[in-house]
C-alpha cells in the first residue's frame, strides 16, 4: 500500500474546498510530527504515519478544514505533554472540541461483557456531541485495524472484538457501509483465522471466474437497459468475506457455491423515475423472485439508505465446461440494486454524504429532513442548511437528553434515566449492593446519596454489612427497580419489626400533636375511620405504617379527636409565627450539621431552641434535619440512629489538636491543594513537617470533623494515604495560644 503524503491531502482538499488554507493543514502535520518525534509504532514506522493515514481515510468523506487538522492532531492531547491551550494558540478554538471529544472517546473500553455492548454504543454516540468526532474516530480505528498484524495475538483479538462489537455497528447505523464492511473483514481475520483463510482461499480460487461472470452480467444488463433508452453505470461486486461467513453459519452451509446472492449488480442512474423504469425493464427480460423485492426508495431505511433491490434468475452466462462449483455460481440468482448517484453516495458514506460542495469559491449544504434511528432515540436534521458549520451544529448526536450513562470503576456502563441518584445506580449494579449502600463516590469525590448523577461519571458505591434500606430513599430514587427493591425489602421484614417501626412512627406524631402514646392493646385504634377493629386489624395498620404503604401522620391525625386536633394546629401555627418574628435563625448557614453548612434544616416548634441552647439534629423523612434542644422531652423514645450532631455557626471552638501523616507522591501544587482543603474547612495549620511524608498539626472542633478532613485529603490527586498519628484535647490555657499561633 502506497504511503500518503501530506501534499496529497492538501491537493485533494482543494478539489472541493477552493478556499482551504493549505498552509494551516501543513502546519498541523508538522506540529503532530514534532509532537510524536522519536515515537514509533509496533511495525517500526514513525508514529506520524498513523495520524497521516487517518486523515487520508477521512478524505473520502470530504471533511472540512478543521476536521482534517483534528485527524492529524487526534493523538497529541492524549499521548503527549502538549496542552489544549498550546494547540488553540496555534490552530484556533474550533479544533479543540473535536480533539477533546476524540480524547474522551479514547477512554471508552469494551470490557468483554456482551450485556454492556448496547449501552457502550449508546454512550459512544452520546459522548460525541459532534458527528465529525465519530467520523474521525472510525477512520482512526480503521487504520489501526489495517496495521494490527504486528501486535501479539491476545491483543489483536481484544481490539478486533471491541471493533466488531462497537465500531462496526456504529458505522452501520450511521450508514457508512464502506467502513463497516472493511472493519468486519479485518476483525474476521483475527477472530476466526481458520474460517477467514478457508473463505478467502475459496474466493481466490474462483476470482478469475468471478470477474468474468460479473463482467458478462454487467455488459448484458447495460445493453438491455440501453435498448430501453435507460443510460447509467453498471457495477458488479461479490459479498465481502465476513458477510459470507455469517451467511454460511446462518444457512448451515460449508461452501460458497452452496449460497445464493453471492453476486450483486448495481445500476446507478440520474433520477428517481429512471430507477423504476430500470426495474420495469429488468423484470421484463428476467424472472424475478417476488419475495426478494425491496423498495427502499419509497420506504427508506432509518439511516437514510435508499435503493431498489430485486433478485432475478438467468442473468449470468452459463459455464457448462467449468468445474461444478463454477457452474453453480453462474446459475445463482443475482441481486440487482438500482439507485441514483445521490443515493449511492449515501449508501457508501452514510451521514457524511450530506457534505455536498457545490459553489465555486465556497460550498453549500442541502440536507433533507429525516430521522436517524439510533436505537430508540431520534436526531432531526433540518432542511436547507446554508453552511457546513450549521450542518455540523444541527447534526448533533447528543440525543439522549433524557438518559445518562454512568460507569462503575471497572468500566461497566449503566444506562439510567436523567435525575438518577447513587442509590439508583447501586440497585442497577445488584439488589444486594443497593440494600447495603452506605455512601458513594462520584469521579473520586464523596457525594450525598440523593446527588443527581450526570452523564459519563464514574460511580463507586460504598457498602456496609451493617446498613439496610432507608425509607427516606423512596423520596429521591427514580428508577422503578430501586423503588420496588426498597419496598420489597421492607415488606419482607419480620412482622414484629414492622409493627414496632409502625408504632414508633405513630407515637412520634401523636406526641408532636399533643396526644398520648399508643398503649399495649392499641386501644386508640379500636375505633378507627368509623369501624371497630379487632387486635389483628389494629396490628395490620401498624404493619402498613411500618412498611411505608400508609403514612404515619395521617393515622395519628385520625386517632386524635377533631376538636383537639384543630386546637393543636392553631397552637402550633401561633408558635411558628412567634418563632419567625423573634428569632432570625432560619438561614441554613446559621446551623452546622456535623460541623458543616448547607444541610436542609428546620427548627422544631416543640422546644423553640435559641442560640444559647445546646442543640441536636433529628433526621426526618423527606424534610431534612429538624433542630431540637439537646434536652427536648419530645425526643425521648425516638430512634437513636436518626440523631445527628448539630451546633450554631460561630459557636464552635477548637477543642482537639490533631496530628496527621500524609503519604504522597511529590508534584508541583500538591501543598497548595492540601492547604486549600484546610482553608475551605476553616481549619488552621499549626505545624508542617516535610520529608518522605507530610506531618501536619491542626486544631479541630470534633472527631467527626477530623474524619471528614481525612476523607477530603485522601481525595487529592497523588495523595495515597492519610492517617491520624495523635489526637488530644488541648488544655484550656493553651487553646487561645494555639489559635494565635495558627497559620
> What is d(CA 194, CA 621) in angstroms, rounded to the nearest whole number?
63
pLDDT over 50 (residue 388):
no
Please, which pLDDT band fits residue 376 given cuts at 50, 70 and 90? very low
More confident residue, 528 or 187: 187
Residue 579 has a pLDDT of 37
> What is d(CA 588, CA 580) in angstroms, rounded to the nearest whole number?
14
Nearest to 100 by CA among 68, 137, 65, 139: 137
Nearest to 648 by CA among 587, 698, 726, 731: 587
Task: Give the neighbor-by-neighbor strand order of the sheet with 459-463.
Answer: 445-447, 437-442, 459-463
pLDDT over 50 (residue 603):
yes
DSSP state of 44: S
Chain mean pLDDT for the chain: 76
Which residues lie below 8 Å from residue 307, measured CB to CB, with a gap of 6+? Answer: 296, 297, 337, 338, 339, 343, 347
Residue 68 has a pLDDT of 94
Do residues 613 and 627 lie in contact, with contact meaning Cβ atoms separated by under 8 Å? no
DSSP state of 165: I
Please, which pLDDT band fits residue 528 given cuts at 50, 70 and 90? confident
Task: Write out pLDDT tens, residues 218-256.
Answer: 888 888 888 888 888 888 877 788 887 887 777 677 666
Please, which pLDDT band fits residue 398 given cuts at 50, 70 and 90? very low
Task: Write out pLDDT tens, residues 285-320.
Answer: 888 887 778 888 887 776 678 899 998 887 765 555
Residue 633 has a pLDDT of 78
Tell me, yes or no, if 85 is annotated catalytic: no
Residue 424 has a pLDDT of 93
Half-sphere exposure of 741 (CA within 13 A, CB side): 12
pLDDT over 60 (residue 402):
no
Q: Cell for 358?
A: 457545490
Residue 92 has a pLDDT of 92
Residue 702 has a pLDDT of 64
Residue 472, SS3 per DSSP: helix
Do residues 731 and 673 lie in contact, with contact meaning Cβ atoms separated by under 8 Å? no
Please, which pLDDT band fits residue 127 given cuts at 50, 70 and 90? very low
Residue 37 has a pLDDT of 92
Task: Write out pLDDT tens, residues 90-110.
Answer: 999 999 988 888 887 776 665
Task: Write out pLDDT tens, residues 420-460.
Answer: 999 999 998 899 999 999 889 998 888 889 899 987 788 99
Antiparallel, parallel or unpaired: β 334-340 and 263-269: parallel
Please, which pLDDT band fits residue 383 given cuts at 50, 70 and 90? very low
Mean pLDDT, residues 147-168 taken together: 88
Task: Write out pLDDT tens, residues 558-580.
Answer: 887 766 666 555 555 544 443 33
Catalytic residue among 12, 21, 79, 613: 79
> What is d(CA 519, CA 535) in angstroms, rounded to the nearest whole number?
12
Half-sphere exposure of 568 (CA within 13 A, CB side): 17
Percentage of the chain lying above the pLDDT 70 cut: 74
Please, which pLDDT band fits residue 652 given cuts at 50, 70 and 90? very low
Please, which pLDDT band fits residue 28 given cuts at 50, 70 and 90? very high
> What is d(CA 490, CA 471) in angstroms, rounded to the nearest whole number?
8
Domains and CATH numbers, the chain: 6-182 (1.10.3210.10), 199-353 (3.30.460.10), 403-491 (3.10.20.30), 561-650 (no CATH), 656-741 (3.30.70.260)
DSSP 114-138: GGGHHHHHHHHHHH--SHHHHHHHH
Residue 470 has a pLDDT of 85
pLDDT over 90 (residue 178):
no
Torsion of CA 470, 471, 477, 480, to 10 degrees: 110
Mean pLDDT, residues 405-430 taken together: 84
How far CA 127 is from CA of 49, 63, 183, 406, in Å, comes to: 27, 21, 22, 11
Residue 538 has a pLDDT of 86
Residue 239 has a pLDDT of 76
Nearest to 552 by CA among 500, 480, 495, 616: 500
Q: Which residues pair with 264 in a beta bridge?
A: 237, 335
Task: Write out pLDDT tens, residues 114-124.
Answer: 545 555 555 55
pLDDT over 60 (residue 111):
no
Residue 650 has a pLDDT of 63
- Sign of the Cα torsion 556, 559, 560, 565 reads positive
Task: Write out pLDDT tens, residues 452-510.
Answer: 998 778 899 998 888 888 888 988 898 888 888 888 887 776 677 778 878 888 888 78
Tell me, yes or no, if 78 is annotated catalytic: yes
Residue 66 has a pLDDT of 92
Is residue 161 within a helix (H) or strand (E), and if so which, with residue range? helix 153-162
Task: Write out pLDDT tens, residues 181-208.
Answer: 999 999 999 999 998 988 888 777 665 6
DSSP state of 638: S
Mean pLDDT, residues 689-710 taken together: 79
Residue 564 has a pLDDT of 63
Q: Which residues pair with 695 in a beta bridge?
A: 661, 689
- Note the helical H segments in 552-657: 552-559, 562-582
Catalytic residue among 30, 34, 78, 687: 78
Do residues 139 and 54 lie in contact, with contact meaning Cβ atoms separated by under 8 Å? yes
> What is d(CA 117, CA 548) in angstroms, rounded to the nearest whole number?
38
Please, which pLDDT band fits residue 689 given cuts at 50, 70 and 90? confident
The count of other CB atoms within 10 Å of the CB of residue 683 is 20
More confident residue, 118 or 581: 118
Block residue for cell numbers 438491455: 224
Residue 580 has a pLDDT of 38
> What is d(CA 236, CA 218) in angstroms, rounded to the nearest whole number?
7
Please, which pLDDT band fits residue 57 given cuts at 50, 70 and 90? very high
Is residue 338 within a helix (H) or strand (E), and if so which, with residue range? strand 334-340
Question: Which of 112-121, 316-325, 331-340 has the highest average model confidence (pLDDT)?
Answer: 331-340
Percentage of the chain lying above the pLDDT 90 cut: 20
pLDDT over 60 (residue 522):
yes
252 dihedral zone (left: phi>0; alpha: psi -120 to 50; beta): left
Residue 268 has a pLDDT of 93
Residue 380 has a pLDDT of 30
Mean pLDDT, residues 670-680 taken together: 82
Residue 203 has a pLDDT of 75
DSSP 81-97: S--HHHHHHHH-GGGHH
Amino acid at each position: 500500500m502506497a504511503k500518503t503524503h501530506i501534499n496529497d491531502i492538501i491537493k485533494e482538499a482543494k478539489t472541493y474546498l477552493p478556499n482551504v488554507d493549505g498552509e494551516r493543514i501543513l502546519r498541523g502535520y508538522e506540529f503532530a510530527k514534532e509532537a510524536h518525534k522519536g515515537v514509533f509504532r509496533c511495525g517500526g514506522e514513525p508514529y506520524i504515519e498513523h495520524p497521516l493515514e487517518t486523515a487520508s481515510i477521512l478524505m473520502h468523506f470530504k471533511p472540512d478544514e478543521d476536521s482534517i487538522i483534528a485527524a492529524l492532531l487526534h493523538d497529541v492531547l492524549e499521548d503527549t505533554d502538549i496542552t489544549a491551550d498550546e494547540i488553540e494558540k496555534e490552530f484556533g478554538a474550533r479544533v479543540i472540541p473535536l480533539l477533546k471529544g476524540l480524547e474522551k472517546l479514547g477512554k471508552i473500553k469494551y470490557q468483554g461483557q456482551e450485556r454492556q455492548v448496547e449501552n457502550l454504543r449508546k454512550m459512544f454516540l452520546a459522548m460525541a456531541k459532534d458527528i465529525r468526532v465519530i467520523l474521525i474516530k472510525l477512520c482512526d480505528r480503521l487504520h489501526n485495524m489495517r496495521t494490527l498484524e504486528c501486535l501479539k495475538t491476545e491483543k489483536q483479538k481484544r481490539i478486533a472484538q471491541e471493533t466488531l462489537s462497537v465500531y462496526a455497528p456504529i458505522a452501520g447505523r450511521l450508514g457508512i457501509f464502506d467502513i463497516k464492511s472493511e472493519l468486519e473483514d479485518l476483525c474476521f481475520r483475527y477472530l476466526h483465522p481458520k474460517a477467514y483463510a478457508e473463505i478467502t482461499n475459496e474466493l481466490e480460487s474462483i476470482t478469475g471466474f468471478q470477474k468474468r461472470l460479473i463482467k458478462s452480467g454487467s455488459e448484458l444488463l447495460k445493453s438491455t437497459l440501453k435498448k430501453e433508452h435507460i443510460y447509467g453505470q453498471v457495477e458488479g461486486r461479490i459479498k465481502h468475506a465476513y458477510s459470507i461467513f455469517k451467511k454460511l453459519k446462518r444457512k448451515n452451509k460449508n461452501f460458497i457455491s452452496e449460497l445464493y446472492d453471492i453476486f450483486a449488480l448495481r445500476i446507478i442512474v440520474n433520477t428517481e423515475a429512471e430507477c423504476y423504469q430500470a426495474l420495469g425493464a429488468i423484470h421484463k427480460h428476467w424472472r424475478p423472485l417476488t419475495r426478494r423485492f425491496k423498495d427502499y426508495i419509497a420506504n427508506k431505511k432509518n439511516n437514510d439508505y435508499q435503493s431498489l433491490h430485486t433478485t432475478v434468475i438467468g442473468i449470468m452466462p452459463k459455464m457448462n465446461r467449468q468445474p461444478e462449483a463454477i457452474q453453480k455460481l453462474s446459475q445463482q440468482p443475482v441481486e440487482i440494486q438500482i439507485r441514483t448517484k445521490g443515493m449511492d453516495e449515501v449508501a457508501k458514506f452514510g451521514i457524511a454524504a450530506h457534505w455536498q460542495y457545490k459553489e465555486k469559491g465556497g460550498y453549500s449544504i442541502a440536507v433533507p429532513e429525516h430521522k436517524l434511528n439510533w436505537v430508540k432515540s431520534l436526531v432531526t436534521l433540518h432542511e436547507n442548511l446554508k453552511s457546513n458549520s450549521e450542518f455540523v451544529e444541527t447534526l448533533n448526536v447528543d440525543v439522549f437528553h433524557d438518559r445518562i450513562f454512568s460507569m462503575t470503576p471497572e468500566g461497566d456502563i449503566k444506562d439510567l434515566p436523567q435525575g438518577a441518584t447513587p442509590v439508583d445506580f447501586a440497585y442497577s449494579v445488584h439488589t444486594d449492593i443497593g440494600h447495603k449502600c452506605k455512601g458513594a463516590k462520584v469521579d473520586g469525590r464523596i457525594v450525598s446519596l440523593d446527588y443527581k448523577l450526570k452523564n459519563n461519571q464514574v460511580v463507586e458505591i460504598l457498602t456496609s454489612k451493617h446498613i439496610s434500606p432507608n425509607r427516606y430513599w423512596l423520596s429521591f430514587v427514580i428508577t422503578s427497580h430501586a423503588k420496588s427493591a426498597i419496598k420489597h425489602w421492607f415488606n419482607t421484614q419480620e412482622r414484629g419489626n414492622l409493627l414496632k417501626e409502625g408504632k414508633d412512627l405513630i407515637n412520634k406524631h401523636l406526641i408532636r400533636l399533643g396526644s398520648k402514646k399508643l398503649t399495649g392493646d392499641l386501644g386508640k385504634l379500636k375505633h378507627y375511620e368509623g369501624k371497630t377493629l379487632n387486635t389483628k386489624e389494629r396490628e395490620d395498620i401498624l404493619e402498613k405504617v411500618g412498611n411505608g404503604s400508609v403514612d404515619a401522620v395521617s393515622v395519628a391525625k385520625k386517632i386524635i379527636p377533631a376538636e383537639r386536633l384543630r386546637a393543636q394546629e392553631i397552637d402550633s401555627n401561633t408558635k411558628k409565627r412567634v418563632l419567625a418574628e423573634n428569632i432570625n435563625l432560619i438561614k441554613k448557614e446559621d446551623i452546622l450539621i456535623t460541623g458543616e453548612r448547607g444541610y436542609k434544616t428546620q427548627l422544631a416548634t416543640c422546644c423553640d431552641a435559641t442560640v444559647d441552647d445546646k442543640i441536636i439534629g433529628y433526621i426526618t423523612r423527606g424534610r431534612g434535619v429538624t433542630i431540637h434542644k439537646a434536652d427536648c422531652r419530645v425526643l425521648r423514645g425516638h430512634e437513636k440512629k436518626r440523631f445527628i450532631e448539630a451546633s450554631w455557626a460561630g459557636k464552635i471552638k477548637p477543642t482537639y489538636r490533631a496530628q496527621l501523616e500524609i503519604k504522597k507522591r511529590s508534584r508541583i501544587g500538591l501543598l497548595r491543594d492540601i492547604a486549600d482543603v484546610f482553608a475551605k474547612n476553616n481549619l488552621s495549620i499549626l505545624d508542617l513537617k516535610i520529608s518522605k511524608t507530610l506531618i501536619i498539626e491542626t486544631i479541630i472542633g470534633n472527631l467527626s470533623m477530623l474524619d471528614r478532613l481525612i476523607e477530603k485529603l485522601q481525595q487529592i490527586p497523588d495523595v495515597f494515604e492519610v492517617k491520624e498519628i495523635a489526637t488530644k484535647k488541648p488544655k484550656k490555657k493553651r487553646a487561645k495560644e494555639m489559635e494565635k499561633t495558627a497559620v
